[in-house]
Chain A
Amino acid sequence: MNVEPTKTTNIEYKTDLFTRIVKFSPRFLLACLLIPVLAGLIGVVLPAFGWAPALSQYKIGLHGFTALWQTPGLVQMAMLSISTGLISTLLAFIITLMILAAFFNTVWLNYIQRLLSPILVIPHAAAAIAIGFLIAPSGMLSRLVSPWLSGWELSPQGIFPHDAMGISIILVLTLKELPFLLLMALGVLAQPELGKKLRAQHKVALSLGYCPMTAFFKVILPNLYPLLRLPILAVLAYASASVEMPLILGPNTPPTLAVAIMQWFNDVDLNLKIKASAGALLQLAITGGLLMLWLFGEKVVMYFCRDLLTNGEREYSGAFWQKLTSVLITGVIGFILLALVGLLLSSVAGFWRFPSAIPDQLVLSHFQSALTQMAGPVINTLNIGIVSTALAILLTLLCLESEQLRNKSVSRFMSFIIYLPLLVPSIAFLFGLVWLQQLANNLSVFVSVVLTHLLFVLPYVFLSLAGSYRRLDPRFSNVAASLGAKPHKVFLKVKLPQLFAPILIAAALGLAISFGQYLPTLLVGGGRISTITTEAVALANGASRRTSAVYAIMQMVLPLIGFIIAWLLPKFFYKSAHH
């Protein structure tokens, strides 16, 4: 008799709606990420081999690839994608390591983090526009030395931007990916257990007479690197296949492969779509090859450096490297500040003839005329951002809660899948996705765009929230549960309030990611939904420097507002709670 009721409550507990939703959520998350990517890939593979009902072509064959091989400059395009992707990732990685090594366990690291993290929220397009202003032959750098030093009365003939080697692209990609890698590394080091252990080991190494930089490379890096691997691969995948930066700063005789693919897809000649699909597969192979190359390089470096770790050498002219790092980081920050100053000046410039370093007059008319046309795009940007971020946070929280209910963390497979949209070049699956959406035909454009943004927002939101969620002290929930609180009550009343600040930060990050999306908005929205980013890229290649400066500034201001709110709101709430 006594056994019966316990059994029923037990069943009730297990089939509780909240619990069921929570337990189901990881599978839903997987579906949300996997289905669009795989479906999109299929939508590219089929036309690549000639099967394109949309063009009434049903002949399976390799003619798409034949057309691709015959494209003049294909090798150059591919090489440009490979070199810009690989070099920028390597540079960003090396500089990250140098900064970490030189300033590990010092206050400087915090300062650098604070100075560099705002760059993370600058959308790629805005960064490209700003740096373009700086390095152009008539840009800020050149104006600062003219005519007193250079004697230039007219702008000189330079090679930046749009240089054939892709140096401008490498420069901007490096500057943009550096803060990302640095913050990822700092995030890893902020994990209480691991961070504490590593800091202690570093101290031990110092007391054994190791130079701080040597200690970092020999003690910290081997433990840190495995946790940085996925972010680095994501950076590499992005850099090798990005579209907006090479579009704004890259060469066009020929462009990078990803840009060329986009142009073929959009060409009047619809038969080019077959070639474009074949190109998308080539892009996939290139990105995949680069990822493999990186993993292989890892092995090689590990093989050759194994002995170095234990050779007992304490000093590799650390003082020199430390100074070099300081110079480098000052250069990077100065470069970015100068770019921002140039951007701000351009946005309010009247006549501003070369070689004056400041405009003849300052006017607000560019802001006025841009703001009157900006309302629609800004509203679209916000709507898409808010809906996709809200969905991403909801899904992430449910998945993390299911982790805790099951009492084990997500599988390796799952954590890989979360990274999938960041590892597969978006140019390779978005076109297929658009094609399939044409077939399905019944989703509204807004919903399609939001779902596609979700693909790119989810990984970041998940990564940003997972740490805080897993660090929650389980004793609070245990106490609440032992007092009879149902799982949903524990979730809503105990866990969420503790996560208030991290959720806001994740939301701000999600919004920033969504605001910055160019290709997904353009392709899936079919041009019907214009956001501040699609406008900025269109204008960067069209309209005046001044107008595109205004759009770039708006692109930076929107996510910044998000982060400021995320930073202020908890203070305000905690203060009122305190009272």
Chain B
Amino acid sequence: MHVSRFGKILTRYGICCFAFFISLTISINSNASAANTDLNLRWQGIEQLGKNQDVYFHAWGGDPQINAYIQWTAQQVKALYDINLHHVKLSDTSEAVSRVLAEKSANNDTHGSVDLVWINGANFATMSEHSLLLKQWANYLPNFKYTDPTNNPAVNFDFGIPTQGMEAPWGQASLTFYYDSLATDNPPTTLDELVIWSAKNTGRFSYPKPPDFLGLSFLKYALVILHQDSAIEIQSLLNQPVTDQSKVVVLSPLWDFLDKLHPTLWRNGKHFMTSGAQLRRLVDDTELSLAFTFSAPEVPAAVKRYDLPASIRSYAMSDGSLSNTHFVAIPYNAAHSNSAQLVANFLLSPRAQAEKQKSNIWGDRTVLIHSMLENKQSAWFKAQEPHPSALPFNSIQRTLSEPHPDWVNAIIQGWNVRYGVSK
């Protein structure tokens, strides 16, 4: 009895020791592979739990191409994981933010209605500030490695704020201009030229009213360019939170610029559209001859859909193009957070990213780095014959990075005080 019991203990002890040594050897030999096994186990768990559920994906729904791409994604995740992906079409992402906040205040901490949200910039800043997002998941997605996270700050910072694994990168955008070549043949290529061009072609240019994302992007582009030759101390203020003094110093050149530009704009700068899609419609109506977008492939796609005339040409400003990354995030109280991670991982997969980059699908630039992909995967991204209205290859000569998100509110407030009420 005693012997056998002792033997049992000995065996158990031995197994433990053995296991310890094995694990020690492995961890000494390759720390990474142990971590990998952990990650694999973690991911297997998520796959187990996340299958066969609903995912409510709250994403801006104003573009039929993007909506169609999300539907394609829904079919794919249905086939892969039996997940029913529902696209909740928002007219403004802030609707989802307020919903999650309302749920938090109603103490709904586990059955939130938002599972996945398409987000970046100010909305992300708000959500992370109020701790409304699930942390440390995006960096553990199996497909995250293709973004080359160690060398690529674009996927770890959102408008200068560290993402801390709260959001998975989805696509990249930079400010691209387009013009009607039948109406004008010398579009402006710098901010200075823009003012001159607009004075000559009165009423043929406009920008969406803040707080629209695209309108703010234009204002930020102008702000960054206006401070190009400012002292380094003033330039660095752009990357810091706003103070009362910095607000005056940094923003007054912008207001001077707008005071000069506005009288030459569409409707004398007294009425502004509220989105980039409306701007595009005005170009189609020939009311505007020059406009811009944050997603370059949208332009040829619109021409193919007859939403823009065939005479449209795209180009990038030679003094710089504002660029940023957009993400998907999971609210802390999402009812189906595991399934949402499966979807986010699929969105980041080479196949989904390649599909997204096709100009006839959506044309959103991928966040994956080509050197991280296998040849076969890399081949999926090869573009077809470029469309005459598309942005010519390699035309972005200089990228401008986004100022600190704090500036967004400062710009919105200042803009509303000055131009929000037409006189």
Q: Which residues of A contact B (CB under 8 A)?
A: 53-56, 72-73, 76, 136-138, 154-155, 157, 159, 162-164, 251-254, 265-270, 273, 349-354, 363, 365-366, 369-370, 372-373, 435, 438-439, 441, 445, 526-528, 530, 535, 537-539, 541-547
Judge whether B421 and A542 touch: CB under 8 Å. no
Residue of B at shortest CB range from A377? B89
A354 cross-chain contacts in B, Cβ below 8 A: 285-286
Q: CA A573 – CA B341 in complex, angstroms?
A: 56
Mask, B48-79, CB within 8 Å of A = 1, is: 00000000101001111001100100000000
A541 cross-chain contacts in B, Cβ below 8 A: 62, 91, 274-275, 277-278
A537 cross-chain contacts in B, Cβ below 8 A: 91
Number of A-B contacts (CB under 8 A): 167
Residue of A at shortest CB range from B416? A72
Judge whether B203 and A538 touch: CB under 8 Å. no
Known: A54-B102, A72-B420, A154-B286. 12 other contacts (CB 8 A): A154-B183, A154-B287, A365-B305, A369-B64, A438-B108, A439-B106, A530-B61, A541-B62, A542-B91, A542-B275, A544-B64, A544-B280
Judge whether B287 and A137 touch: CB under 8 Å. yes
A136 with B285: in contact, given A54-B105, A441-B106, A441-B108 (CB under 8 Å)? yes
B60 to A: closest C-beta gap in Å: 9
Q: CA A253 – CA B90 in complex, angstroms?
A: 23
Q: Which one of A136, A363, A438 contacts B103 once the chains associate, using CB atoms below 8 Å?
A: A438
Judge whether A349 and B422 touch: CB under 8 Å. no
Judge whether B420 and A544 touch: CB under 8 Å. no
A270 cross-chain contacts in B, Cβ below 8 A: 98, 101
Judge whether A268 and B421 touch: CB under 8 Å. no
Judge whether B421 and A349 touch: CB under 8 Å. no
Judge whether B285 and A155 touch: CB under 8 Å. yes
Residue of A at shortest CB range from B180? A154
Asked whether any CB of chain A lies closer than 8 Å to the CB of B364, the reply is no
- 25 interchain pairs, CB-CB under 8 A: A54-B105, A56-B105, A137-B287, A157-B266, A159-B267, A162-B271, A253-B271, A267-B98, A268-B97, A268-B98, A353-B286, A366-B305, A372-B68, A435-B102, A526-B99, A527-B90, A528-B88, A530-B89, A537-B91, A538-B62, A538-B89, A539-B64, A541-B278, A544-B280, A545-B307
A86 to B: closest C-beta gap in Å: 22
B270 cross-chain contacts in A, Cβ below 8 A: 164, 253
Judge whether B422 and A253 touch: CB under 8 Å. yes
Mask, B278-296, CB within 8 Å of A = 1, is: 1011001111010000000
A268 cross-chain contacts in B, Cβ below 8 A: 94, 97-98, 122-123, 126, 211
Q: Which residues of B contact A (CB under 8 A)?
A: 56, 58, 61-64, 67-68, 71, 86, 88-92, 94-99, 101-103, 105-106, 108, 113, 122-123, 126, 183, 202-203, 209, 211, 266-267, 270-272, 274-275, 277-278, 280-281, 284-287, 289, 302, 305-307, 309-310, 409, 416-417, 419-422
Judge whether A157 and B91 touch: CB under 8 Å. no
Q: CA A273 – CA B113 in complex, angstroms?
A: 20
Residue of A at shortest CB range from B266? A157
B92 cross-chain contacts in A, Cβ below 8 A: 266
Judge whether A543 and B62 touch: CB under 8 Å. yes
Judge whether B88 and A138 touch: CB under 8 Å. no
Give 10 nearest A-B pairs by CB, closest first: A542-B62, A73-B421, A138-B285, A54-B105, A544-B307, A268-B94, A542-B277, A354-B286, A253-B422, A155-B286
A547 with B97: in contact, given A268-B126, A542-B275 (CB under 8 Å)? no
Interface centre among B105, B126, B289, B420 (most CB of A within 10 A): B105
Q: CA A53 – CA B105 in complex, angstroms?
A: 7
Q: Which one of B62, B71, B99, B307 contacts A373 once the chains associate, using CB atoms below 8 Å?
A: B71
Judge whether B64 and A543 touch: CB under 8 Å. yes
Residue of A at shortest CB range from B92? A266
Q: CA A544 – CA B122 in complex, angstroms?
A: 27
B113 to A: closest C-beta gap in Å: 6
Judge whether A254 and B421 touch: CB under 8 Å. yes
Judge whether A544 and B302 touch: CB under 8 Å. yes
Q: Which one of B266, B287, B420 contacts A73 once the chains associate, using CB atoms below 8 Å?
A: B420
Residue of B at shortest CB range from A255? B274
Q: CA A383 – CA B51 in complex, angstroms?
A: 28
Interface centre among A76, A164, A253, A370 (most CB of B within 10 A): A253
A191 to B: closest C-beta gap in Å: 44
Judge whether A55 and B94 touch: CB under 8 Å. no
Q: Which one of B113, B183, B272, B310 contacts A526 once the chains associate, using CB atoms below 8 Å?
A: B113
